[in-house]
Amino acid sequence: MQIFLCRLTLHENLFFATREIGRLYETRDYLHNYALTYALGLVTTPYFQRDQVPRYAEQLSELNEHGIYVTPARGVHVHYALSTFKYADNHYHVQMEPGRLNVPSFGRAKEIAVGSQFEFFVIAREQMPKSFPRWIRLGKWSSKAIVESQEYATIKEGVGEFIAACPLNPLDVSASPIVYDLISMPPVSLIHNAKINGTYYELDSGRIKIPTGMKYTFPKMDEPKRSKRKQK
């Protein structure tokens, strides 16, 4: 069993739309574990996809077989920067009405600024197949970030009521949280300050506790209904 504490430091502004408030597109101080898993190169996806449909279940489930899991990240030192961008209504692809103009408009992006830092954990049931990359890219603009990691020398297991030391993807946790703060963000909302009654890993002389048995889990999709022909 290996558990790593990873610290990510931004060297470029980071942007992705956690939520949209009118024309303000806000990036919150949490990073989804799906995005981190891809950025660390633990799974790969083709550069070009014709249908542009995410295949999280197909690609991330492979890590469950190897016992590797990446938690979501929380911001430990976060600064913001506001930027303004211009966009236009795309009326050129429809029939123009008399007097109708293609007037440009403006929006604002709340980005996480250079120098901001995040922390997350990587859990490996067996020896990690490869070391973590020194540099990764994240977000809409493929922003550059540096990753530093340290492995915990001592890992203990306990059972009882505890507060998780990191944000969690609620689908990936086996025990149901008692109370928590909800972080609404796509594709799956996260939870933080989650109080859980169950088994946990104890790190750093008991100051850090994270749930055991976390693995990538996805909601079951309903199978498409097939039309049945009436038999004569």
Query: Residue ranges of the domains in the chain?
Result: 2-89+105-211
pLDDT digit string, tens, across residues 198-211: 999 999 988 999 99
Radius of gyration of the chain measured on its C-alpha atoms: 21
Count of alpha carbons within 13 angstroms of residue 172, beta-carbon side: 28
Helix (H, G, I), strand (E, B) or coil at 207: coil
CATH class of 2-89+105-211: alpha beta
pLDDT digit string, tens, across residues 60-79: 999 999 999 999 999 999 99
Strand partners, 158: 200
Residue 60 vs residues 35, 37, 68, 135: alpha-carbon distances, Å: 11, 8, 10, 21
Nearest to 180 by CA among 59, 188, 167, 22: 167
Task: Tell me the C-alpha distance between 63 and 60, whole Å.
Answer: 6
User: pLDDT digit of tens for each residue in the chain (232 aa)?
Assistant: 999 999 999 999 999 888 887 788 889 999 999 999 999 999 887 777 677 777 888 889 999 999 999 999 999 999 999 888 776 555 544 555 565 555 557 778 899 999 999 999 999 998 887 789 999 999 988 999 999 999 999 999 999 999 999 999 999 999 999 999 999 988 899 999 999 999 999 999 889 999 999 999 987 654 444 444 444 4
Strand partners, 142: none
